[in-house]
Chain A
Amino acid sequence: MDTFLQALMLVLDVKVLGVMLASALFGLFVGSIPGLTATMAAALLIPFTFFMEPVPAIAAIVTTVAMAIFAGDIPGALLRIPGTPASAAYCDEAYAMTRKGQAETALGISLVCSAIGGILGAAVLTLTAPVLAEFAIKFSSFEYFWLACLGLSCAVVVSSGSTLKGFVSLLIGLFIATIGIDVTAGHPRFTFGSVEMMGGISFIPAMIGMFAISEVMRYVAAPGSQQAAPQQPIRNVFKGIGSILSRYKLNVARGGVIGAVVGILPGAGADIAAWIAFAMSKRFSREPEKFGTGHVEGLVDSGTANNAGVAGAWIPALVFGIPGDSITAIVIGVLYMKGMNPGPTVFMNQPELINAVFIVFFLANVALIPLGFMAIRLSRRILHVPRKVLIPIILMFCVVGAFAINNTVFGISVMLVMGVLAYIMESNGFPVAPTILGIVLGTMLESNFMSSMIKADGEFSGFFSRPIAATLGVLVIVIWLIPLVKLLVGLVRKPQASQS
């Protein structure tokens, strides 16, 4: 209780609350502009969080992302353009409702379900993270090695698109992580004599490049025309929401659980949670024929799931230092910069900090209702902001932000290279999320492997000598075998199919 009060004191500070309000407005704005994603919002925030204390820094990111994920629903419902990828799953459905003249209900359900989903996700985070941390405190380098493997494998398996391309993307990330002075021998790798490269590829400029510069390039390549929002009165979005929620209360619970679980999986975030929840909703609905005609049921499921996924992703990030999605990858980068290595020891040594994260999550999602309502009312104006003006400003902001991390133009070079890389990768169907995970987990993987090897005197059996390590190891090997088994089954089946 004592730590809870301490945490409450940390959060209920004028400065922290001010930061949260500002980030909320920023998140709502970025989220509701098509083409600007929640991850980009987080990446643009980093230069500021760099200069903050840990609590306001985390509060800023949590609030921004919660708001942005909801705000992505606004252009989805009004223009049929998802504001963030997390709204893509149900944007057709929401737009169909708008065409039936139900824009009010669609937006109201999105808003209320987003808030409920966020709170459900935060509850799962609050209940499970400390328990897991108590368990994880016993982990040694063997377990962390397998956990890193598990996280990376998961990122490849669940990433969108082909597994092969996901694997390439992961290996690129791991390669980037090897650049710089190596962890065991202190030998500079791939630095080609550059002193700046010795410190490794700085993570933050790389993130800004991959999420903001690539987005800028995508806009410049295909500017498209800016549509105007339909002229439909949007006054009381909360009308009739209560009866819809009580009818679909099971959907809300299901969406929350799916969101939190998918969020925990490394590499899968809010967007994949929304797709799965929407598919589940349709599959188990009593009236699946109504889907696609502007039916509110799918919106309830997936609107809840994407916000729950945001919180779920924080569980592995806080407990093991393994990001659950790209946003928590950024968070881990920010925490490392502050000298705070996420992991079970933070739960033991600074429990007030962890509690503060939980409180911020609840607070942000409660604040979502009034602020989101305001954003809906202002949506027509926000959608009117010319993107041709916004994009150059974002680019210049990225330049200054990447510079500010180390005060050298080297950061801008890293940002440029990673931005172009991410743009080329995405336009050729390579998912970007595994690269990010590779960069974050590469060093962890290698240093844990090396120290395990030294402990075990070069014996591979050491990785299976402890019960938890052995279990995790077997699990990882099973996951690695899945694609192989699938391939073999496919080879066996093919000739049979052609015979029959």
Chain B
Amino acid sequence: MQLNDAVTGLVIVIFALAEIAYSTTFPSLHGQAYGPSLFPILIGCGLLACGLALIARGLRERRSAGAENAPWLQWGDWAQDPATRINMMLVPGVLIAYILLSDFVGFIPLAIILLSLLLYRLGSSLGASLLYAVVVTIVLQLLFSRVLLVPLPEGIASTLFR
């Protein structure tokens, strides 16, 4: 995803203004000139200045290169191809699905489903995807749960086998 510098700059400026405004609500220390708000405000000011400089640079670039019609936002090559577009959404999608569902579904079933989905979408055959997914999930479960003693979520699977 390629953004014109002016667009990036605008986003940064808006963020910086919001951050500074919020930081001024922090309480100050008694008898101390500088409190918890000092650093966030300084950072905000820095971002504000950089954002403005980026806007200036982006606008100048558009004017100088005869690129008046250049797009403000250019999606990468991946957006041209519908399959890649779906895959690109799938990466954050898989993570969000894990964050939301892992406690309820449990690590083993969820990891198998998500892994085989990803493997299949990236070009493995259905059978291979399932096989790899099952093997990797079992290895991860043994490694983290048994060896490193990480309490991976058990979810509904634990009640099924009890």
Binding site for B on A (CB under 8 A): 47-48, 51, 164-165, 167-168, 171-172, 174-175, 178, 182, 184-185, 187, 189-190, 213, 216-217, 220-223, 386, 388-389, 391-393, 395-397, 399-400, 403-404, 407, 409, 412-413, 415-416, 420, 424, 427-428, 442, 445-446, 449-450, 453-454, 458
Contact = CB atoms under 8 A, between A and B. Distances in A.
A187 B39 contact: no
Contacts, number: 156
Contact of B95 (A168, A386, A415): A415
A171 B118 contact: no
B27 A446 contact: no
Given A171-B47, A454-B32, A409 B40 contact: no
Q: How large is the interface on B (under 10, 10 to 19, 20 to 34, 35 or more residues)?
A: 35 or more
By secondary structure, the A interface counts as: helix
Contact of A424 (B1, B40, B77, B94): B1
A412 B99 CA distance: 7
Given A164-B53, A400-B150, A393 B98 contact: no
Which 3 A-B pairs give the minimum distances between C-beta atoms? Answer: A392-B118, A182-B36, A221-B78
Contact of B114 (A175, A396, A450): A396
Interface of B: 1-3, 8, 12, 19, 22-23, 26-27, 29, 32-36, 39-40, 43, 46-47, 50-51, 53-54, 57, 76-78, 84, 87-88, 90-92, 94-96, 98-99, 102-103, 107, 111, 114-115, 118-119, 122-124, 128, 132, 136-137, 140, 144, 148-152
Contacts of B96: 416
Given A396-B114, A397-B140, A403-B150, A220 B87 contact: yes
A388 B118 CA distance: 9
Contacts of A416: 92, 95-96, 99
Given A184-B35, A407-B151, A428 B2 contact: yes
A391 B115 CA distance: 10
A184 B32 CA distance: 11
Contact of B124 (A47, A164, A174, A388): A388
B84 A175 contact: no
B27 A412 contact: no
